[in-house]
């Protein structure tokens, strides 16, 4: 399971010209589910994301986590993170989990995040939809986290 983590001062998702979710300061997470991923990978990645220290402390050092700062989390399903880009000029998606498996693990990940942060601090994209994701990356700060 992969997560592209971006520290944001604001982020949102639109589907069919309608805003479906929005957060202020926190993390925008693009979540990719690969073949072989299961609930243990979702638990590990969720723990890592919520405790990853990417927010500045009083000295300006990245020393605080999302849990520490009380920020929000916007989780967007992103199957292209599972792409095989090792050869050619077109990505292959044979590493991606099936849509049924990916959607189940995406929902499970959201449940885990809401249990830790509270439902009011977790927003979501729309699985399987064409989305327009907007963000103001704070820093910019972007990290790729993985369970493998």
Give the per-residue pLDDT at 148.
85
Per-residue pLDDT tens over the stretch 24-80:
999 999 999 999 999 999 999 999 999 999 999 999 999 999 999 999 999 999 999
% of residues, the chain, pLDDT over 90: 99
- Contact by Cβ (8 Å): 102, 110: no
Q: Are 66 and 25 in contact (CB under 8 A)?
A: no
Sorted by where each starts, the structural domains of the chain and their CATH numbers stand as: 2-140 (3.50.80.10)
Kindly list the catalytic residues: 78-80
Q: pTM of the entire structure?
A: 0.96
């Amino acid at each position: 399971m992969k997560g592209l983590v971006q520290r944001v001062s604001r982020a949102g998702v639109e589907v069919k010209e309608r805003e479906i979710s929005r957060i202020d300061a926190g993390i925008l997470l693009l979540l990719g589910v690969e073949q072989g991923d299961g609930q243990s990978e979702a638990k590990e990645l969720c723990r890592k994301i919520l405790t990853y220290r990417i927010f500045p402390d009083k000295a300006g050092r990245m020393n605080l986590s999302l849990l520490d700062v009380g920020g929000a989390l916007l989780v967007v399903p992103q199957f292209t993170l599972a792409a095989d880009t090792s050869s050619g000029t077109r990505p292959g998606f044979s590493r991606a989990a099936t849509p049924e498996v990916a959607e189940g693990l995406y929902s499970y990940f959201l449940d885990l995040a809401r249990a830790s942060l509270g439902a009011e601090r977790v927003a979501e994209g729309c699985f399987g939809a064409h989305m327009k994701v907007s963000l103001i990356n704070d820093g910019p700060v972007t990290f790729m986290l993985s369970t493998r």
